[in-house]
Amino acid sequence: MRANRAELARAIKRARDRVRPEDAGLPTGPHRRVPGLRREELAMLAGISVDYVVRLEQARGPHPSDQVLAALCRALRLDADERDHVFHLAGVAPPHSGLIDLHVRPSVLRLIDRFQDLPAIVMSAKGDVLAWNAMSSALHGDWSALRPERRNQLRLRFLPDPTDPPRSSVGGTPEERVATAVQSVANLRSVAARYPDDPGLARLLEELRRGSPEFRELWANTDAGSWRSHTKTVEHPSLGVLTLECDTLHVPDVDQNLIVYSAAPGSPEAQALELLRVVGTQDLSSAR
């Protein structure tokens, strides 16, 4: 399949112009000179260099891999047909059935955009954080600041990396952390049975087995299961310890989960979420 670099450059540039930063969970900031995402913002969301984006939009540079194309299509909020078109223009076969779906439909993205006062994220079957709203970044830490390969719940849980930017601590008591870890491993065992040929899942399992004794022990002793809605404790650096309801909504045809955090009206946690909504991803240290 031959690449059409000129049309690929045009498609990426036009899609970048359509996406507002707030749609991608990024702070807007004043004095913007472009109607959509800056090249720097697209590069950050997709986990590639700014120079790479520049060369793609100038119809030159390296031939993008399917992983890079998938990350670009997610960052640009393309639907399935638009994603396949970009893959064809790059001379790469689009993703096929039997693999974990890493593409978030625009309708699901619009749904999390509606949760303006609640943190919400979209996760792939194997725990990749594929999309988020501004409230999630305010609660957990800026997802866009994490390297794309680190935007995975299991890597964050079992393979801590001191080079990660500061993030809120999730888990609370030792008992809660154990329960969450068991649920994560049980879900991953179920996913491994559904997607035996997915290369990204195979890499993740190898990393976890090699790098985490805790994961190896749980993998050997945990049966298959699935995500369940539960209460989760988040220790925010400015707002302190928050106990939030964590509801999991399954999107069955793409096997993705929409995770929404909420609190009972009138509770201290509800007041904290309201403060997060007002202040957003700004520094909350002066708000304590």
Query: Is residue 129, in this structure, part of any structural domain at all?
Result: yes
The pTM of this model reads 0.73
Q: In what order do the strands lie in the sheet with 129-132?
A: 129-132, 120-123, 256-262, 240-251, 230-236, 169-170
Query: Is residue 235, in this structure, part of any structural domain at all?
Result: yes
Burial of residue 218 (CB within 10 Å: 0-12, 13-18, 19+) is buried
What spatial distance separates the first Cα and last Cα of the chain, rounded to whole Å?
Answer: 57
Q: Which tens digit of pLDDT belongs to each residue from 191-232?
A: 998 998 899 999 999 999 999 999 999 999 988 877 777 788
Eight-state DSSP code of residue 166: P
Band (pLDDT 50/70/90 cuts) for residue 251 is: very high
- Domain range for 11 is 5-89
Residue with tokens 């396949």: 84
Same domain, 137 and 249: yes
Same domain, 39 and 154: no
Helical H segments across the chain, by residue range? 5-18, 39-46, 50-57, 66-75, 80-89, 106-114, 134-140, 153-158, 174-194, 199-211, 213-221, 268-279
Out of 57-66, 115-124, 141-150, 269-278, least confident range: 57-66
Q: Which stretch, 37-46, 81-90, 159-168, 175-184, has highest mean pLDDT?
A: 159-168
Same domain, 28 and 134: no
**Contact by Cβ (8 Å): 82, 15:** yes
Out of 89, 119, 154, a domain closes at 89
The encoded tokens of residue 267 equal 């509770």
Alpha carbon distance 42, 38 (integer Å): 6
Query: Is residue 190, in this structure, part of any structural domain at all?
Result: yes
pLDDT confidence of residue 159: 97
Out of 89, 114, 134, a domain closes at 89
Q: Which tens digit of pLDDT belongs to each residue from 9-29?
A: 999 999 999 888 877 767 666
Count of the separate structural domains present in the chain: 2
pLDDT confidence of residue 1: 65
Same domain, 165 and 209: yes
Same domain, 83 and 110: no
